[in-house]
């Protein structure tokens, strides 16, 4: 099961980047009436009214929604769910991406889109069940290139674990 964003976004890092921890942002948002706001409005307000970087604003908004609006871990603003895993692969970005791409193509056919020139090269598929799968290569580190596989638009929280298992099988096969 996905874990709450608070466990992924540590209070020290949040405070260092934004000046407040989880409880501080939650209290401020409650005082502002954000419990009735949609995700985009919360994130926009954090950026415009408090100068929070967009990436942090998204995380703060999700944390607030999980704490005060009933949003479940892994649930997106549209109500669907997302599952993801990352594995470090040998090679540069495009080599690592190609290893995982070959495994996804063997299971799901040709992708519907790609952007290999992006700062984080990505390849995308629309799957027959209505979900979407994406693979993206992060900047390389000393061990290789982290490649993230994400399945989006899952219909329920119960669909997340089978999706994570499918992702693990793809990454295991690509790792050899």
Average pLDDT over every residue of 114-121 = 94
CATH 3.30.530.50 holds for 81-175: yes
* Cα–Cα dist 7/27, whole Å: 18
Q: What is the mean pLDDT of the chain?
A: 93
Residue 152 pLDDT class (50, 70, 90 cuts) = very high
- For residue 77, is pLDDT > 80? yes
pLDDT at residue 176, as a whole number: 83
**CA nearest to 60, candidates 38, 29, 36:** 29
Under DSSP, the state recorded for 2 is P
Helix (H) or strand (E) holding 29: helix 22-31
Q: Which are the contacts of 70, defined by CB distance < 8 A and separation ≥ 6?
A: none
Q: Which are the contacts of 46, defined by CB distance < 8 A and separation ≥ 6?
A: 25, 52, 56, 57, 60, 61
Q: Answer yes or no: are the C-beta atoms of 18 and 79 closer than 8 Å.
A: no
Residue 72 pLDDT class (50, 70, 90 cuts) = confident
**Where do the domains of the chain lie?**
5-68, 81-175
pLDDT at residue 34, as a whole number: 96
Q: Answer yes or no: are the C-beta atoms of 54 and 47 closer than 8 Å.
A: yes
pLDDT at residue 2, as a whole number: 67
Residue 1 pLDDT class (50, 70, 90 cuts) = low
pLDDT at residue 9, as a whole number: 75
């Amino acid at each position: 099961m996905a874990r709450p964003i608070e466990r992924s976004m540590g209070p020290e890092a949040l405070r260092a980047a934004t000046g407040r921890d989880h409880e501080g942002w939650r209290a401020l948002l409650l005082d502002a009436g954000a419990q009735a706001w949609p995700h985009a409005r919360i994130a926009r307000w954090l950026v415009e009214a408090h100068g929070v970087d967009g990436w942090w604003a998204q995380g703060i908004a999700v944390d607030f929604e999980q704490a005060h609006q009933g949003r479940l871990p892994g649930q997106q603003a549209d109500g669907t769910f997302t599952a993801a895993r990352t594995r470090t692969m040998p090679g540069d970005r495009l080599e690592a991406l190609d290893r995982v791409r070959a495994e996804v193509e063997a299971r799901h056919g040709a992708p519907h889109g790609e952007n290999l020139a992006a700062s984080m090269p990505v390849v995308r598929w629309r799957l027959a069940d209505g979900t979407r799968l994406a693979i993206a290569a992060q900047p390389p580190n000393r061990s290789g290139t982290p490649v993230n596989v994400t399945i989006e638009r899952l219909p329920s929280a119960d669909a997340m674990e089978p999706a994570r298992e499918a992702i693990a099988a793809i990454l295991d096969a690509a790792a050899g």
